[in-house]
């Protein structure tokens, strides 16, 4: 049985080098990933927060704004056309 074609290319390369490798390479994460957006507030969040509805409204607005940006990118609209 041949090893060719059974696995995608990255796995084939790993299988070829598996005897030489020592440890793991998980610490070398692929570059290009973007961190998730963060919403900040003036007051610290507590479990008994009275303004939870206001915080949730702000978070929803930010989420909707990011979704619209993604939809506009998919449609190919330039910043001037928005």
Q: What is the mean pLDDT of the chain?
A: 74
**55 Cβ partners below 8 Å, 6+ apart?**
41, 45, 49
Cβ 45 vs Cβ 55: under 8 Å = yes
Cβ 3 vs Cβ 12: under 8 Å = yes
Q: What is the pTM of this model?
A: 0.43
Residue 1 pLDDT exceeds 70: no
Predicted pLDDT at 37 = 75
**In this predicted model, what pLDDT tens digit does every residue of 11-46 receive, in sequence order?**
777 777 777 766 656 555 556 667 777 888 887 777
């Amino acid at each position: 049985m041949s090893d060719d074609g059974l696995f995608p290319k990255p796995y084939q390369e790993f299988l070829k080098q598996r005897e030489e490798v020592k440890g793991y390479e998980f610490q070398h994460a692929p570059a290009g990933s973007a961190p998730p957006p963060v919403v900040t507030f003036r007051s610290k969040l507590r479990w008994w927060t009275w303004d939870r509805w206001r915080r949730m409204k702000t978070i929803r607005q930010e989420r909707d704004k990011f979704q619209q940006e993604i939809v506009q990118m998919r449609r190919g609209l330039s910043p001037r056309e928005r």
